[in-house]
Structures are given as C-alpha cells and as structure tokens.
Amino acid sequence: MTETAPVIEIRDLHKSYGPLEVLKGVDIIAPAGHVVSLIGSSGSGKSTLLRCANLLEESQQGDVIFCGEPVIWKGTGMYRRPADHAQMIRIRTNLSMVFQQFNLWAHMTILQNVMEAPVTVLKRDKAEVEAAARGYLDKVGIGDKCDAYPAQLSGGQQQRAAIARALCMEPKALLFDEPTSALDPELEQEVIKVIKDLANEGRTMLIVTHDMRLAADVSDHVVFLHQGKIEEEGAPDVLFNNPKTDRLRGFLSATIA
C-alpha cells in the first residue's frame, strides 16, 4: 500500500449475468477521506458495482485495486475468480458494507450483532470489541438499545445498528447500498444524519443512493451510471446544477420533481 493510493480504484470493470451485460467498462476512484456517490436509474449497475468492489460479486474483466493492491485473479471471463482467498478476506473485511435491508441477525441482541464479526472473523478481544461496539452504538444514537433485539427496533434504528456494525470492523471504507430506500421519510432522516456525520469525519465512503439531496450534501464526487456505463460524473454542485447530457437532465428532473 502507498500513502497516496486511493482506497478503492476500479478500472475498466465488466460484469455480466449470462448474456446480460450489467457493467460495460466502468472506472471509479475513491481517495482516502472522500465520499463518492453512485446515482442512476434502477438497473443501471450501481449496486452491482458496489458488490464487485467488495468482491461479493465476481467481475469478468477489469481491475479492482484496494489501497494500491490489485486483486489477483485466476481464470478468465465467466470463470474468473479471486486467486488468493486470504487477500479476498482481507479486502472484504476492510470494506464494510451496509445493505438496504439491514441484514441483522434476528436471534442476537443489537450489541451481539455489532460484536459478532470483529470477534469471530477478526479474532479481536471480546472485551475490547464490546467497549468499541457500545461506543459506536452511542455514536449512531442508539446506545440505549444494546440489549434489544432487531424486531423491537424501528427500521431507522435497525439501519443505524447496521452502520454501527460496519464501523466496528474498523474498515478503511464504508460501502452503502441504498441505505435509506427501505425507510419511511421520517426514519430516513435519522440515517441520513448519521451518514452526514460520518462524511464530516472524513471517512472514505462509496454510496449507492436514490436520494439526490444526500448525494449533493455529502459527496466529493458523484457518478451517474446509465445502462452499465458512466454517462456523466463530477463534483456535486456541477453535476446537479449544470448537467451536460440529456440523460442526466431527464433523470434529475424525474427524481427531484
């Protein structure tokens, strides 16, 4: 790893599901401390790109580079896989993912949910992890819910617990996949506040979102994907206030209306 290397760099990424080509040569850079938001219509490839960055999905062509370290591949095309399992686990544990549907374990308390991965995957000291977990739950505003179960929490509280769980892995970057789209507008604001606070701390984040106001408020760079390609990208004030392409203008008018 070099000091100047981006945390996440994707070059010429291609991803297909059988004959359906979802990503058609995408380049993304997320420097340390920067927030990059991915916007676009449903089916444009946003979530797939995020999952490829985290190696939850296997791409058929292109490079995925984490802190200057390229993923090592074996095979080609539809048979391409990460060649180094230890590298894959190391990268994945440093890119914590927050999903649309929370994905909390129903049989565990909120505190246990946040502690589980650092203890079982990273083999960290349980007492240290518990202290950190309680701190992160306080940070996202639900420190009083440690002993509650997911079903006892609102959707906004569950998503904040999921963010605390991601933070407890002490990752180099956070990946958000539509973190507010499953929430009512009122609960959505709880989660948006947490994400804004994280952005203000200078955390590296890659965010797939349908919320243009969130993208405008927290991003250093916004990428508009259309049919698996980058149609337009740039600083949020430029992209939202002066879109260059008809496709982005149409998308923004439909989304913000």
Instruction: Output DSSP code: residue 7.
Output: S
Task: Find out whether 71 and 20 touch, Cβ atoms under 8 Å.
Answer: no
pLDDT at position 1, please?
Answer: 43
pLDDT tens digits for 146-156? 999 999 999 99
Task: Find out whether 126 and 177 touch, Cβ atoms under 8 Å.
Answer: no
pLDDT tens digits for 24-77? 999 999 999 999 999 999 999 999 999 999 999 999 999 999 999 999 999 999
In terms of Cα–Cα distance, which of 26, 33, 32 is closest to 5? 32
- Extract the tokens encoding 149: 């179960």
What average pLDDT does range 1-17 have in this prediction? 87
pLDDT at position 257, please?
Answer: 58
Distance (Å, rounded) from C-alpha 156 to C-alpha 191? Answer: 6
pLDDT tens digits for 161-197? 999 999 999 999 999 999 998 888 888 999 999 999 9
Residue 255 confidence class, pLDDT cut points 50, 70, 90 = confident
Q: Is 2's pLDDT higher than 80?
A: no
pLDDT at position 181, please?
Answer: 87
**What's the distance, Cα to Cα, between the start and end of the chain in Å?**
44
pLDDT at position 256, please?
Answer: 75
pLDDT at position 104, please?
Answer: 95
pLDDT tens digits for 110-139? 999 999 999 999 999 999 999 999 999 999
pLDDT at position 4, please?
Answer: 78
Task: Find out whether 215 and 225 touch, Cβ atoms under 8 Å.
Answer: no
The alpha carbon of 205 is separated from its chain's Cα centroid by a whole number of angstroms, namely: 6
Burial of 119 (0-12, 13-18, 19+ CB in 10 A): middle
- Domains of the chain in start order, with CATH, are 1-94+174-257 (3.40.50.300), 103-170 (no CATH)
pLDDT tens digits for 187-210? 899 999 999 999 999 999 999 999
Assessment of whether the complete model's pTM goes beyond 0.85: yes
pLDDT at position 3, please?
Answer: 55
